[in-house]
Amino acid sequence: MPAQKTSLQTRPGAFNPADSSFFVLFEQDRVPSPGEKIMIQELLVEKTAYLANLNSQAPRRRSGKKMSRQLRAELDYTRAFIKFHRALISPWRRLPVEILSEIFLFTLKVRGGLRDIRDDELDPWVDDRAGTLLLCKICSAWRAVALRTPALWNTLSLQSYQVFRRPLDWVSTWLDRSRTSPLHLQLLWDPKLSPHTRNSVLEIFTSHLPHTTRLAVEEVQYADTEPEPSPDSEDSHPELPLIAPMWDWVHSASRASPHLTHLSTSQFYADSFPVVNLTHLYLGDPVPMPQVFQIFEHASNLQNVAFRVKGPAVACSPGALLGMKSVSKMEISSEDVGEFLERTAFPNLVNLAMSHIFPWPDAEFRSFLSRSSCALTGLGFFDCYVAQEKIIGTLQHSTCNTLETFYVDECAPSDADALLQYLTYHGPDRPLSNPKLRGIELHDIRALDGLLSTMVESRLFRNLVFVWTTSTDSAGKHFLLLCG
């Protein structure tokens, strides 16, 4: 651990780093020369031997004797002396700044998990400033390196109920430290937020749009928050033309961000966004089907997309088919999804999530899979009114032979245990279904006594790495998490 300049104030009789003949190394944040390092090592050998001698003089705990005040003070002084000088020759001080900077980047949180077809970069991300701020508090040398590492400052998530009740000067300071590093900006705003505060934040964001690659602006409702009082009257702080209303700013921001590749927003108008450069797109509110088709026709680089279709589609020539070769990950939801599936094909689709669909378009869905001829590695059903038998039919489709992760959550209730039976290995006469499946997540699946454990055991010995279930039986709900 490096010596800290903030701990130089010592109690009377305690070790004071300023008394060390090597204090100049600490004061100048300088790496010891080879000669100085040898001298410090020799000094540490001497002091370590002296500490061992002091420890031998200390009475044993069970002896009933008390340690003298003088001996205790000498022990504390020697330990502090050794700790300070060890820090001076600590290996981290010899690391090049570039290596130390790369190590700092590993302090940032890394997202991951089984449900990567939903919990990915399209979802709102967790603010991760704690690690960066902690690095700046260790010592002045680390702070200097952190301030010269733009990638530590290029991600910022603002949530109105957390950060908008104090001055916003720090937001500009934070983003300025990113320099020209590609920015990831997220604003989760509450309608109760005062226009003045909202506009102040968006004005700061606007100045950094030229090097923004990821932008997320979502409206959220926080039930426990009160409307924020405006610092002055609305007359003294009129809304800026660029950012009033909020969604007009989002549209303008997209046009002002030439390097924007990731966009997440509640409202979307295809005519207003430069979709050509987008690779990741998340749309919160329902989008008319004609606009969805317009997006796909113009966004030739789109790889990851999540949207809710609102139909019906516009009239077109019979047999017209939209094929998107660039899309590899998609989450789709709609009551009109059947018509969309009938008119699309995604040959390179790898991860597919179907959510909030009622009724379930079974024939259209299977036809879509056959038409796409894709090789799925991730498949999920969330809040879909689909029976277990139809889910099994999907798993038996040729496109699911390569399936590696699979989840079912909040789907049609059923007293049957057909899905668990299907996933269970039954011996040589019936080979293991979906043999490459290594991650399973099931919620609200009803299981007979012993069936759940039998299914888990049968797959666990065949390289199953993750099982997460919420099953229901006569005794209530049971949670099971297994890692192999």
pLDDT at 141 over 50: yes
The Cα–Cα gap between 360 and 390 comes to 9
Range from 77-86, 231-240, 297-306, 409-418 carrying the lowest mean pLDDT = 231-240
Q: Which residues make Cβ contacts (< 8 Å) with residue 322, sequence separation at least 6?
A: 293, 296, 297, 343, 344, 345
pLDDT of res. 114: 34
Residues of the chain above pLDDT 70, percent? 77
Higher pLDDT, 424 or 42: 42
Distance CA 328, CA 278 (A): 14
Exposed, middle or buried: residue 302 (CB in 10 Å: 0-12, 13-18, 19+)?
A: buried
What is the pTM assigned to this prediction? Answer: 0.75
**Which residue from 303, 305, 180, 185 is spatially nearest to 250, judged by alpha carbons?**
185
| DSSP secondary structure letter of residue 284 | -
Q: What is the pLDDT of residues 215-254, one digit of tens each?
A: 998 877 655 545 454 444 443 333 333 334 677 888 888 8
Q: Count of residues for the chain?
A: 484
Look at residue 11 in the predicted model and tell me its pLDDT: 57
Taking residues 451-468, what's their average pLDDT? 70
Q: Is the pLDDT of residue 413 over 90?
A: no
d(CA 185, CA 259): 13
User: Which of 443, 394, 389 lies closest to 421 in space, CA to CA?
Assistant: 389
Q: Can you read off the two tokens belonging to residue 79? A: 């330990």
At residue 326's C-alpha, the angle toward residues 266 and 285, to 5°, is: 15
Q: Where are the alpha helices (DSSP H) in 9-68?
A: 23-27, 34-57
Q: Mean pLDDT, to the nearest integer, of 333-355? A: 90
CA dist., res. 31 & res. 263, Å (int): 45
**What DSSP letter does each residue of 144-204 carry, written as one string?**
HHHHT-GGGSSEEEEEHHHHTTS-SHHHHHHHHTTTTSPEEEEEEE-TTS-HHHHHHHHHH
Q: Are strands 439-446 and 405-409 parallel, antiparallel or unpaired?
A: parallel
Per-residue pLDDT for 468 more than 70? Answer: no
Q: What is the mean pLDDT of residues 13-35?
A: 88
pLDDT mean over 150-155: 91
Instruction: Answer yes or no: is pLDDT of 382 > 60.
Output: yes
Q: State the virtual CA torsion across 138, 144, 147, 152 in degrees, nearest 10.
A: -50
> In this structure, what is the dihedral angle of CA atoms 263, 268, 273, 274, given to the nearest 10 degrees?
50
pLDDT of residue 41: 94
Q: What would the mean pLDDT of 403-421 be, rounded to a whole number?
A: 83
Answer whether residue 3 shows pLDDT above 60.
no
147-150 contact pairs (CB < 8 A, 24+)? 147/177, 148/97, 148/101, 149/101, 149/104, 149/105, 150/177, 150/178, 150/179, 150/180, 150/181
- Residue 341: name the closest of 277, 286, 292, 401 by CA: 292
- Whether the pLDDT of residue 76 is over 50: the answer is yes
Instruction: Report DSSP letters for 299-358, one per residue.
Output: -TT--EEEEEEE--PPP--TT--EE-SS--EEEEE-TTHHHHHHTEE-TT--EEEEEEES
The stretch 166-176 carries a mean pLDDT of: 87
Structure tokens given for 321: 């088919």
The pLDDT tens digits of the residues spanning 81-109 come to 999 999 899 888 888 889 999 999 887 76
CA distances from 21 to 25, 28, 477 (A): 9, 13, 67
| Closest to 433 measured CA to CA, from 443, 421, 442, 415 | 421
